[in-house]
Amino acid sequence: MRKYITIVSLCLSVFLMSCDNYLDLVPKGESVLNTTDDYLGLVESMASEYPTGDFWYFSGDATWPYKNEIENYKYPLRSIAFLWDETEGLRQQHTVTSELYSKCYSRIANYNIVVENVNDAEGPLADKKLAMAQAKAMRAYNYFILVNTFAKPYVKETAATDNGIIIHKKFDLENESKQYSVQEVYDFIMEDLNAAIPDLPEKPLNEFRPSLAFGWALKAKVHLYKGELDSALNAGLEVLKSTYHKLWDMRPMYYDVVAELPFMDFMSTGWDSYAIHPKADPENLLYQFCNNDNGEPFPFWIRKETLDLFDKQNDLRYKTCISYSTPNRPTGESGARMFGSIQVKWNCGGMRLSEVYLIVAECYARLNDPVNAMKYLNEMYKYRVKNGTPELTAADADEALKQVRNERKRELMFTYNGFFDMRRFSVQLNETFTRTYINEAGETKELTLKPGSPLYVWPFPQNAMETSNLIQNTK
């Protein structure tokens, strides 16, 4: 018997603002799912919008060009994140948490429909297996984002009792939601990935659908966040076997331009016409926007402390993507510069192959193998710098880990990884972070963020708290 699934609004306008159900179905039209192609299209529906821009202020990647707005809490969550303000952190709410929360659960609703119903669709068995695998991989990814935003970082000794997030295992508007533990959420993520990986394709139809390499990459990432270094390393090495995904080599682009226009070697502004990295580049294991395709992270401003991590003469990311000739804004932090390219699709919300090299390098460093750590780190680094730039070096495992972490800050700035890295290093390495900020009055403030800070857990949206039995994890 053929099963027809009717979806309200062309791509399921299920806008989750509560944890109790999938909430308001907005009747803007109807779409009937009948064939496997329909379900495969649903896998990538709402492919954009992981609104995590405020994470960039937390991690120090970004700065706001108006100090008075930061200090006067014009945008409360942004100020709390940037100033690491624990006194305000538990009292403020902001729409960005609602947006990220609702968009992730809206996508999860789509994936649940695919998982539950694709086997009844018209179409080849191979397509049904593909749709099932890609839906589960994407469901795992969205739960990974949610648990690392709204729950405590994973700690083996307490994960089974730490309150996590709600898991919707099925698309059921009647079922009462349940808040699972952090351990249970991670177990469900891994269950989905293990089921998905055998049927994920080496090369997906497009960059918005997960590949086999993405499945292994997310698995490596999950193990890394749990502190399971050997398993993370093995999964990461599986990714590097891909015959389709390749690192983006920035050097040909750079040298082709300089050969024609030698003066460009001395410029950053003006590179926008030449520094092109499309969404479909095979370095992207999965491409996802942060808010929409508006050129993000342009026009975000980068803090001087992050800029100083770059080799400004030789690093091609700096030369082609940082507008260092743009005048500083007197209302902002001294030395800050703007991300200067809208044609370099930075993939703020997805995963890139370069991240896997960094995962592998970090695992080797933390497993006391600095030689292999630097081998994989430099394998990636060489594609980001001018020919002849000296390799990164490390005398021991500690220095190797420092080099890896600096490269993570460079390569993965303006993604969610900066915030997530701080969360996991605070528990895995018991790390305290510090930041210097010179306020509008010219006073130097030393900011400190200690392990266990409530700021590492972002509050559930107010609407979710009011319409469910959630326990707020920031308390």
Structure confidence by residue, pLDDT tens digits, 196-221: 999 999 999 999 999 999 999 999 99
For the entire predicted model, the pTM comes to 0.93
> Residue 19: its pLDDT value, please?
41
Q: Is the pLDDT of residue 89 over 70?
A: no
Q: Is the pLDDT of residue 11 over 50?
A: no
Does the residue 73 lie in any domain? no
Q: Region 62-68: what's the mean pLDDT?
A: 94
Measured CA to CA, the distance from residue 21 to residue 403 in angstroms comes to 45
Q: What distances in angstroms separate CA 17 from CA 152, 390, 409, one per listed residue?
A: 21, 51, 33
Q: Would strands 433-438 and 301-302 be described as parallel, antiparallel, or unpaired?
A: unpaired
Percent of the chain with pLDDT strictly greater than 70: 88
**Residue 183 and residue 324 in one domain:** no
Dihedral sign computed on CA atoms, order 301, 306, 308, 314: negative
**Residue 45 confidence class, pLDDT cut points 50, 70, 90:** low
**Residue 41 and residue 146 in one domain:** yes
Domain boundary among 206, 237, 263: 206
> Of 130-139, 285-294, 297-306, where does the model show the most confidence?
130-139
> Residue 14: its pLDDT value, please?
41
> Residue 93: its pLDDT value, please?
52
Does the residue 473 lie in any domain? no
**Residue 27 and residue 165 in one domain:** yes
Q: Is the pLDDT of residue 27 over 70?
A: no
Does the residue 266 lie in any domain? yes
Q: Region 51-75: what's the mean pLDDT?
A: 94
Q: Region 70-77: what's the mean pLDDT?
A: 91
**Residue 271 confidence class, pLDDT cut points 50, 70, 90:** confident
**Residue 134 and residue 22 in one domain:** yes
Q: Is the pLDDT of residue 372 over 90?
A: yes
> Residue 475: its pLDDT value, please?
67
Does the residue 196 lie in any domain? yes
**Residue 171 confidence class, pLDDT cut points 50, 70, 90:** confident
**Residue 44 and residue 112 in one domain:** yes
Does the residue 396 lie in any domain? no
Measured CA to CA, the distance from residue 278 to residue 57 in angstroms comes to 26
CATH number at residue 18: 1.25.40.390
> Residue 344: its pLDDT value, please?
92
Q: Region 314-336: what's the mean pLDDT?
A: 85
Average pLDDT, the chain: 89
> Residue 18: its pLDDT value, please?
39
As given in the structure block, the two tokens for residue 443 are 């006073």
Does the residue 229 lie in any domain? no
**Residue 198 and residue 262 in one domain:** no
Lowest mean pLDDT among 13-27, 290-304, 319-333: 13-27
Domain boundary among 152, 183, 206: 206
For the chain, what is the HEC assignment?
CCCCEEEECCCCCECCCCCCCCCCECCCCEEEECEHHHHHHHHCCCCCCCCCHHHHHHHCCEECCCHHHHHCCCCHHHHHHHHCCHHHHCCCCCHHHHHHHHHHHHHHHHHHHHHHHHHHCECCHHHHHHHHHHHHHHHHHHHHHHHHHHCCCCCCCCCCCCEEEECCCCCCCCCCCCEEEHHHHHHHHHHHHHHHHHHCCCCCCCCCCCCHHHHHHHHHHHHHHCCCHHHHHHHHHHHCCCCCCCCCCCHHHHHHHHHHCHHHHHCCCCHHHCCCECCCCCCEEECCCCCCCCCCCCCCEECHHHHCCCCCCCEHHHHHHEECCCCCCCCCCCCCEEECCCCECCCCCCEEHHHHHHHHHHHHHHCCCHHHHHHHHHHHHHHHECCCCCCCCCCCHHHHHHHHHHHHHHHCCCCCHHHHHHHHHHHHCCCCEEEEEECCCCCEEEEEECCCCHHHCCCCCHHHHHCCCCCCCCC
> Residue 245: its pLDDT value, please?
98
Measured CA to CA, the distance from residue 199 to residue 241 in angstroms comes to 16
Q: Is the pLDDT of residue 92 over 70?
A: no
> Residue 31: its pLDDT value, please?
59
Q: Which carries the bigger pLDDT value, residue 293 or residue 26?
A: 293
**Residue 144 and residue 269 in one domain:** no
**Residue 137 and residue 43 in one domain:** yes
Q: Region 168-181: what's the mean pLDDT?
A: 79
The half-sphere exposure of 181 on its side-chain side, counting CA atoms within 13 A, is 12
**Residue 175 confidence class, pLDDT cut points 50, 70, 90:** low
Q: Would strands 163-166 and 322-323 be described as parallel, antiparallel, or unpaired?
A: unpaired
Which is nearest to 222 in space by CA: 236, 240, 207?
Answer: 236
**What total number of domains does the chain contain?**
2
Specify whether the backbone of 60 is left (phi greater than 0), alpha (psi in -120 to 50) or beta. Answer: left
Q: Write out the residue range of the structural domain in which residue 268 sits.
A: 251-282+298-339
Does the residue 164 lie in any domain? yes
Q: Region 126-153: what's the mean pLDDT?
A: 97
> Residue 132: its pLDDT value, please?
98
**Residue 123 and residue 16 in one domain:** yes
Domain boundary among 308, 339, 370: 339
Measured CA to CA, the distance from residue 89 to residue 291 in angstroms comes to 23
Does the residue 235 lie in any domain? no
Q: What is the pLDDT of residues 426-443, one digit of tens each?
A: 999 999 999 999 999 999
**Residue 110 and residue 21 in one domain:** yes
**Residue 40 and residue 111 in one domain:** yes
**Residue 41 and residue 145 in one domain:** yes
